[in-house]
Structure 1
């Protein structure tokens, strides 16, 4: 627990911050100043939030202040309760499900724009609110998969009951439209994942990873990464970090674009709030990022020709050692 605040230290830190602003040629009403039209609320101190926050700030003239609730509901409620009493806070940009949920509970009348929220529909956000979905539509995702990997006819997915039925229905329909078949294995517990993979491995060309916390544990990821390499099955992840750790490829939203979209939504929402009780205005992410692991591609027998490389935003050349 933090110790007592030392007032001279606080004053010294404030003076240093002011000098840094002057040296950088910035006004003293910087992003963390006392006056903030927008409260930027983070669920955790995650690197993935940095890019959308920077893009958001670059695309709005409104001063903002960051609040990191650090995964704590109690601390978050306390911070947001204090912000609710700040008349200068006109709107909220929330990143992550917990930040968005608490922001709406603590400040129900302030315009809320959310991003990086998985399965946002389950939160039932009330107006005035808007957001940028973090999921790329399955139809668009599978179309890219088929373009990149035309040999894939049967795509496997291991999921728990936490994955929405709508997502699975969309995946089945998208696969059928592209002449592919979705092979599903449902698990109740994380330790059932290896067995689920063994049951499907001979009948699939690719394995599609969903952001399912029951399935995606550190141990399960390592197992699936190593087994798909050995079985020459394309391992399709949902995040660049997993590709850097050895999955074949990922197609994920462009986080900078999401931040710019959020800034535009906030300006619209502040200028024209939605009617109370109406559904939030939610946009699909406009940009995407393709990341390919060259080492894994070689291991599964995928040739990275000039055409494929030209479509990649990032090519990871070296995978970390497998353990």
Structure 2
């Protein structure tokens, strides 16, 4: 369905030779470690692949040496990506687990995987959850405006309409959300828009007051009361980064775009919230969900 998935046979063919890969993670943190697990599991020692995993915190604390000329660098997190761009300006770099890639000083050799799940995937899920959702509000920050507008412009085949609202300042979130909630049947928070606990709690309260389902940006928000969330899985992001890295060093040149949607996403759903609002979630979705809250 997506460009990278269509090129999977080529990616696998391009990865047939031994590769020297440097993987840099921003911190020794659970989600980052899972992404590294996905990367490392994509390479084979018996083929001669050499994968060096580096924790950026160790590099800055000890000044440890890094390989000089790897075939490709895979970064996990924004800090690691920023460091790699400075350290390897002419080396292909693939980044993942970056919420706001627009803030990174990227080079022409840098490509990455978004934390942003396609709007079409969200709408398809909402149509399965309820046929009464016709207007979906989308809260996003200024840096995500172009991506959201492009996604909305390319939507086809859905009855629901999208109402995007840019949150240019966190302080304006309550005012904008109160106005938006009067026009919609569901509210989606794009990852990176809500950056603190108070904002999350405000949106959850607003959702319950107006009986407008909240589509969260993480499983944690679903556990707190949001109806559902569709988010990338870190291990899958790591695997996708490794496949994309294989393409970059296959000799086929740079891909036609620098930012890719996740190939796969996980569903988290709060069945308690659904029951409270009289929503009967199809068993198919419940079985598919990676996180369910009873």
Flag whether TM exceeds 0.5 (same fold).
Answer: yes
Of 42, 48, 51 in structure 2, the residue corresponding to residue 64 of structure 1 is 51
Deviation at 1:177?
A: 4.5
Deviation at 1:219?
A: 0.3
Alignment of 1:19-34 (within 5 A): none
State TM-score, norm by structure 2: 0.78
| Number of aligned positions between the proteins | 272
2:75 paired with 1:98? no
**Equivalent in the alignment of 1:142:** 123
Of 212, 216, 227 in structure 1, the residue corresponding to residue 206 of structure 2 is 227
Q: Which whole-Å deviations, capped at 9, do the CAs of 1:75-130 have from their partners, x for residues lacking one? A: 39x858x42xx347443210123322320221123332211233546646335444
Whether the 8 Å CA contact 1:95–1:117 is kept in 2: the answer is: yes
Whether the 8 Å CA contact 2:135–2:162 is kept in 1: the answer is: yes
Task: Give distance in 1, aligned partners of 2:168 and 2:286.
Answer: 38
SS of match in other structure, 2:144 = coil
Deviation at 1:259?
A: 1.7
Q: Which has the larger radius of gyration?
A: 1
Of 238, 244, 247 in structure 2, the residue corresponding to residue 259 of structure 1 is 238
2:178 paired with 1:198? yes
State TM-score, norm by structure 1: 0.72
Task: Give distance in 2, aligned partners of 1:241 and 1:166.
Answer: 24
Deviation at 1:207?
A: 0.6
Structure 1 residues 234 and 270: alpha-carbon distance in aligned structure 2, compared to 1, 3 A threshold: same
Whether the 8 Å CA contact 2:99–2:192 is kept in 1: the answer is: no
Structure 1 residues 124 and 167: alpha-carbon distance in aligned structure 2, compared to 1, 3 A threshold: farther
**Equivalent in the alignment of 1:269:** 248
Structure 1 residues 281 and 195: alpha-carbon distance in aligned structure 2, compared to 1, 3 A threshold: closer
Task: Tell me how large the CA RMSD over aligned residues is.
Answer: 3.1
Name structure 1 gaps, 5 residues minimum.
Answer: 1-35, 318-323
Alignment of 1:1-323 (within 5 A): 37-61=20-44, 62-70=49-57, 75=60, 82-83=65-66, 86-87=67-68, 89-120=70-101, 123=104, 125-171=106-152, 173-174=154-155, 177-213=157-193, 215-272=194-251, 274=253, 282-317=259-294
Name structure 2 gaps, 5 residues minimum.
Answer: 1-18
